[in-house]
Structure 1
């Protein structure tokens, strides 16, 4: 399990992120139109998974805005913003912000994504939500880069994630 903090207070996750070089676990998530999306829907594309606790927090919202800005310059790459927020909240936020270079997906139905990727909070006030992580996946499903953000209030290292696609 990863040991991370919220305001300096320790919080644990259910596991560890998959290792770079390994195959990405399959996932099934809910899109903002309530359709199901899985790895196979993105076959042949590189993926940046921007994973966070809730779109209704400043840091999470900023990560979606930042990746939306940077995504338009990425070749054959889709940025998937993933949380346990209801799809309606994700659609509301992206619509209000005019964000159309990222795709929002929710793990609210089963929580299997968080379990399979080892990033669900196991303890602390955000227990059962997803921790702030980045996972970059190549066109063949191989993980190129991961980052478990050690302090929940901090933004991910955008440059490091995007550099893994070079």
Structure 2
């Protein structure tokens, strides 16, 4: 398994990302995560749509909450696009947050069981078993058109750059 400790930091300290970092032009690897009702969801379930994958460490932090609110707001402006919000949080915590906040334009998915997304896309933080913050945009043909591994996990992603490619 690939490991990279030069790409991102957490609170200023380098962390090790496990898996293969994806890049623009790659065919997006399929992955399996869990929906809020514990049923599996795959990237291939959204075939034919543009997909924004909003990746974050924990729904219980202010930056992660802001990220989910922002992508939920932007989702209403996008045609033929689904926003998948993925973390290693339990599906129940994700569902509770979205219900409390009234976020119904994003699809929250949990990678906690197998970290299949985290390792296939290189977002898994080895030291914490959480996902690093970032964004992946995939076109209708399943090709990655934008990737951001946020250099400092405690910072928000570059929303404008991600949304611009849509």
| Structure 2 partner of 1:42 | 46
| Structure 2 partner of 1:131 | 132
Separation of aligned partners in 2, 1:39 and 1:149: 22
Q: TM-score, normalised by structure 1?
A: 0.94
| Deviation digits for residues 41-90 of structure 1 (CA, Å, limit 9, x no counterpart) | 10111000000111001111100000000110001000000001010000
C-alpha contact (below 8 Å) 1:17/1:146 kept by paired residues = no
| Structure 2 partner of 1:152 | 153
Establish whether residue 68 from structure 1 lines up as the match of residue 72 from structure 2: yes
The alpha-carbon distance between structure 1 residues 90 and 117, as it changes in their structure 2 partners (threshold 3 A), is same
How many residues are treated as equivalent by the alignment? 162
C-alpha contact (below 8 Å) 2:20/2:120 kept by paired residues = no
Separation of aligned partners in 2, 1:138 and 1:50: 15
Separation of aligned partners in 1, 2:23 and 2:154: 24
Separation of aligned partners in 2, 1:90 and 1:19: 27
Superposed structure 1 runs of 4+ greater than 6 Å apart: none
Which stretches in structure 1 are left out of the alignment for 5+ residues?
none
Superposed CA RMSD in Å reads 1.0
Query: The residue matched to 1:95 in structure 2 has which SS?
Result: helix
Q: TM-score, normalised by structure 2?
A: 0.94
Query: How far 1:16 moved relative to its partner?
Result: 4.7
Which of 123, 138, 141 is 1:119 aligned to? Answer: 123
C-alpha contact (below 8 Å) 2:76/2:105 kept by paired residues = yes
> Which shifted more, 25-34 or 7-16?
7-16
Query: The residue matched to 2:69 in structure 1 has which SS?
Result: helix
Which stretches in structure 2 are left out of the alignment for 5+ residues?
none
> Which shifted more, 93-102 or 10-19?
10-19
